[in-house]
Structure 1
């Protein structure tokens, strides 16, 4: 197993963040199983990890914006 796989864990995340993290983990697991260890595999997993982090932050931003909209609507 590639050393980066531990960073694809998602059980600690709240459900809305899990929803965007799980598909990235699924791809990471498939690639980790399908490819032998190499610098290119690690680079690919690192880039996928970076993308996953971006997707999680995008979801956080959506949730924050929705919360602000809800607060504005109730004022």
Structure 2
């Protein structure tokens, strides 16, 4: 895995989150890893960065809903 991808993909880990937030974060983890296995290049890095932003928004939405 390219170092640029590895540096972003680590932020998709979710084991440290409470179970309700793990449920929100897990699909993003799965998608990020699936895409990183199939694609490469600068657009993958950009896409993962945007996916990370979306994941963070969904986790915050789940926090706001509590």
- TM-score, structure 1 as length reference: 0.80
Give me the whole-angstrom Cα distance separating, in 2, the residues matched to 1:41 and 1:55. 21
Decide which of 18, 21, 26 is 1:22's aligned counterpart: 26
Number of residue equivalences: 62
For the pair 1:41 / 2:44, whether they are aligned, the reply is yes
For the pair 1:53 / 2:56, whether they are aligned, the reply is yes
CA-based RMSD: 0.7
- RCO (CA 8 Å, sep 6+): is it higher in 1 or 2? 2
* Partner residue in 2 for 1:12: 16
Gaps of at least 5 residues in structure 1 are 64-75
Gaps of at least 5 residues in structure 2 are none
- TM-score, structure 2 as length reference: 0.90
